[in-house]
Amino acid sequence: MPAHSDATGYLLAHRDSVNEAWFHAVCEAAINSDGGNLSQDELERLWRLFCGLETFAPSAATPPTLKANARDAIQPFHLESLSDFSGFKKLGGTLRLDLSKRITLVFGRNGAGKSSLCQAFKILANPEKPKEPLNNVRSSSKVLPSFNYKLRGGSVQNWTELDGFGGQAQALKYFDSAVAYKHVNSSISPEAVVELSAFRLECFDYAREYLKQFQAYGGSKIAEYRQDADRKIAEIKLGAHAVIDTNTGVFKDWSAINCGPVLSWIGTVSFGEDKRLQKAEKQVRLEQLKGATSAEGQQALALRKSLLGQVKQSLANFVQQCGGFSYSAYNQILLSIQQKQAASIELAGAVFSKDLDVAGQQKLLSAAAALRPFIPAENCPLCRQTLENDAKALFLAFHNHLISTVQTELHALDTKQQAEHSKKRMIEGFAEINYSQYSNVLNADFLRAASDLITSVKASLQASLIDQAALDAYSRYAELNAYIEAVNTEYNNADYALTLASNGLQALNEEISKLTTEIGVLSIDETAYSVRPQIETICQNAISFAGVANVVESYNFTSRLSALTARKKDAHTALVLGSFIPYLDGEYRRLCGASLEQIGVRLANQGADAIVLPKIGDELVHRVLSEGELKVHALALFMCEASVAPHQVLILDDPVTSFDYNYISNFCERLRDYAKDNPQSQLIVLTHNWDFFANLQNTLNGSGLSGAFSVQVLEDCATVSEYVEKWEELCGQIDGYIEPQVEISPDEKSKLSALLRRLVERLTNSYVFNEQRHQYKIRTLQVSNFKDFVKLVPLLPAEADRLKDLYANLSPLEHDDVRNYYSTKSIYQFGTWYDEIKSIKNAVEGRRI
């Protein structure tokens, strides 16, 4: 009893034993598949599951709907005739095989054309081109072999080689010696017998195929990633090659699978503003040193040094002047003067007349005080008149005004103001050089910025209101120190180069070599640092991907495929062989009366594709069984297939060769059962075995199939006629020759003689021996017919003699020319003999008890 109803159960059990998310998805896809390949999205999902980037969420298994049984779905099919053979082997153009009955038995001796007729059937049934020639090799004619065939309900169709082979293979199933040999010497295909769709064994094939697709996808994804990484690495190497020798060091072996050394090294690389300035400075120095190696270069350096000195001196002079002047102190002096003047005015308001000029009054008062101080007194110092109280108070105010420190302080402030203003005027009037003319030794933007800064500082001194903005603008003169330092560096470099040049060429070259090396190191750092983010990204991604790639590449897909094969064989054995063996065992019993076990045949399931081989012990059957037993095996397989295959026309060419009487009888009964079990099928049997012919005829007639059964006798590759032996049918054919009372041809007389001979045989067989005597050898009599012997009617001596004479007259002597023999007999003579035969038949019937 199978553990599962179909192969999906076996696959699911195997899936659960593996317990890997991606494999679960593979099995699920196989169960739900209708045979197509996995899409890119499905393969990518498997990849993510394999890498643990996604969790598995199973979906409901919905296997495709089972297909309808092909035998039930096929359209009705019946082959009605073969005719009009042209250039086809030895078959004559007049040959017409009538296949209108459901069962047709074609009998023909060796050389009668049966094999050629079989080839026509095979052309319609077998898609493979026959190895044997189809044309008549005995003829020099180059006619293209062809013949006509007609299907029931259709028109006559013509076949030539241009139409191809196996045009009706879907409906015709063929058995001949080649098929028998294949069944005996090849593996068995239970799939041709058992409805595999019910077992869904294809799910294992889909799982294997999807596993291979995923393995290939994983390999291609890894290769694609590495190729992309190597391409990016190559681009970085190419971009850095001008500065970094990528054929040495860590760059030499850098690839998608070797990123560790590069990643470690690049982490130590840095290149900031300091190094950038160092590199720029060293490059300038290097250029200067290189220039100093020649007299012309030294002259140019000397000129450069002189020009740089002029710019440096100009800037330094301006900074020096600005450093000697404090704009904020100057502003404070002005504010103090304003405050003191306000206080002075306030004091003056108490002693001076508002209608007169204050300055004039001040001079007058000062001149008067110089003559005599305004100390408190009773008399006026000028007119010496006695002073009243108000006049005393006025003079006291004069005195206080003159002795205050405000005026002294104002004088001191004015002095300071004049000194600072002189400095301010010097700065405002500073005549800087035309910096734009020095662009050949310094950067034009640098010079423009210095000049603009000086202009801005000078402009700040012109502010109408000395506020914080003006003070801040003035204080920017200190920024010129950086300009001076930069110019000084250039000046010193030129001076250094000239000094080295004066010491000799060797010292100069040593310094050039040293600078070149230092610049090279800085350039490497700069270039490497510029691509550091890309290198780190590539290396980190490659190292991360390498872990996944290693898992994929080290995964044992072969073992997983082998396990699927083993589980498929288990399912195949339990389901397919479990269903097929009863079929085959039944056919064995029908054909030889023994089971598979009794014969010793076992079916061995082996190989990746679950190949089934028939064996006895450890040997293949064709090495052990006899010729007849091998034919039983071949026919058993064929009949298994015929019982379930969608073919509606079964064609058998000499199927019982090597059979004894017992096996022939068994096979006749098998064909009878097939015909009865498949009323819509057509059966065509071709043979030259007379015992098989008679036995099959007797078996079919005795089973109520005589109305659907036709016997065709093939002769001389040109004629075929239906064999009849019933009295009424024979008489009907004989009447067709005799009743017209017209002379017939020698060939027709030959056929008429044959029919009359057969009529004599039917008379004795049917009416004398009550169907218990046979003119042809038969294996055995039916025991159920022994009661019919009581109805035997003996011939009278006269009747026996006359029948002997009639049979002799209707049979040509050996060596006689048949045409001459029958040409001497008239139609009337045949009519007389016919009447005599019927008269004896009536007499025998009259004596029946």
pLDDT higher at 757 or 838: 838
- Segment 733-758 shows an average pLDDT of 85
Q: How far apart are the two ends of the chain, measured CA to CA in Å?
A: 62
- The lowest-confidence range among 45-54, 80-89, 240-249, 612-621 is 612-621
pLDDT band at 787 (very low <50, low <70, confident <90, very high): low
- DSSP-derived secondary structure for 806-841: HHHHTSPPTTS-HHHHHHTS-HHHHHHHHHHHHHHH
pLDDT band at 814 (very low <50, low <70, confident <90, very high): very low
Name the E strands within 323-442: none
> Which is it for strands 601-606 and 146-151: parallel, antiparallel or unpaired?
unpaired
Please give the pLDDT value at position 222.
93
Given a cut of 50, whether residue 166 has pLDDT beyond it is yes
Please give the pLDDT value at position 403.
60
Q: How far apart are CA 219 and CA 214, in angstroms?
A: 8
How far, CA to CA in Å, does 272 sit from each of 277, 350, 483, 754, 831? 9, 72, 21, 121, 132
Please give the pLDDT value at position 157.
92
Number of H helices, E strands in the chain: 32, 13
How far, CA to CA in Å, does 42 sit from each of 25, 45, 54? 9, 5, 13
pLDDT band at 781 (very low <50, low <70, confident <90, very high): very low
Average pLDDT, the chain: 82
Share of the chain above pLDDT 70, in %: 85
Entry pTM: 0.53
Per-residue pLDDT tens over the stretch 502-548: 888 888 888 888 889 988 999 999 999 999 999 999 999 999 888 88
Please give the pLDDT value at position 114.
85
Strand partners, 159: 147
Q: Tell me phi and psi for residue 613, to 5 degrees.
A: -115, 130
pLDDT higher at 539 or 717: 539
Query: What architecture (CATH level 2) is domain 724-849?
Result: Up-down Bundle (1.20)
pLDDT band at 779 (very low <50, low <70, confident <90, very high): very low
Structural domain spans, the chain: 1-65+172-240+556-645, 724-849
Q: How far apart are CA 519 and CA 532, in angstroms?
A: 19
pLDDT higher at 195 or 406: 406
- The phi-psi region of residue 258 (left if phi > 0; otherwise alpha if psi is between -120 and 50; otherwise beta) is beta
Q: At what angle do helices 468-475 and 444-460 cross, to 10 degrees?
A: 140
- Segment 391-407 shows an average pLDDT of 68
Please give the pLDDT value at position 815.
44
pLDDT winner (highest mean) among 347-351, 355-359, 572-576: 572-576
- Walk across the sheet containing 719-722 and list its strands: 172-175, 649-653, 682-687, 103-108, 709-715, 719-722
- The lowest-confidence range among 385-389, 508-512, 611-615, 666-670 is 385-389
Per-residue pLDDT tens over the stretch 360-382: 766 766 666 665 666 666 777 66
pLDDT band at 265 (very low <50, low <70, confident <90, very high): very high
Q: How many CA atoms lie within 13 A of 90 on its CB side?
A: 14
Residue 454 burial class via C-beta count within 10 angstroms: exposed 0-12, middle 13-18, buried 19 and up: buried
Per-residue pLDDT tens over the stretch 467-477: 888 889 889 99
> Which is it for strands 719-722 and 649-653: parallel, antiparallel or unpaired?
unpaired
Please give the pLDDT value at position 777.
44
Whether the CB-CB separation of 711 and 723 falls below 8 Å is answered with yes
pLDDT band at 819 (very low <50, low <70, confident <90, very high): very low
- Kindly report each contact of residues 452-457 with a partner whose C-beta sits within 8 Å and lies 24 or more positions away, as own/partner: 453/477, 453/479, 453/480, 453/483, 454/318, 454/430, 454/480, 457/318, 457/322, 457/427
pLDDT higher at 433 or 199: 433
Per-residue pLDDT tens over the stretch 545-587: 888 889 888 999 999 888 888 888 777 777 767 777 887 888 8
DSSP state of 707: G
Q: How far apart are CA 297 and CA 332, in angstroms?
A: 54
pLDDT higher at 790 or 17: 17
- The two three-digit tokens of residue 115, written as one number: 């094999």
Whether the CB-CB separation of 710 and 100 falls below 8 Å is answered with yes
- Segment 134-138 shows an average pLDDT of 84
- The lowest-confidence range among 104-118, 345-359, 629-643, 747-761 is 345-359
Please give the pLDDT value at position 66.
46
- Give the chain's largest Cα–Cα span: 223
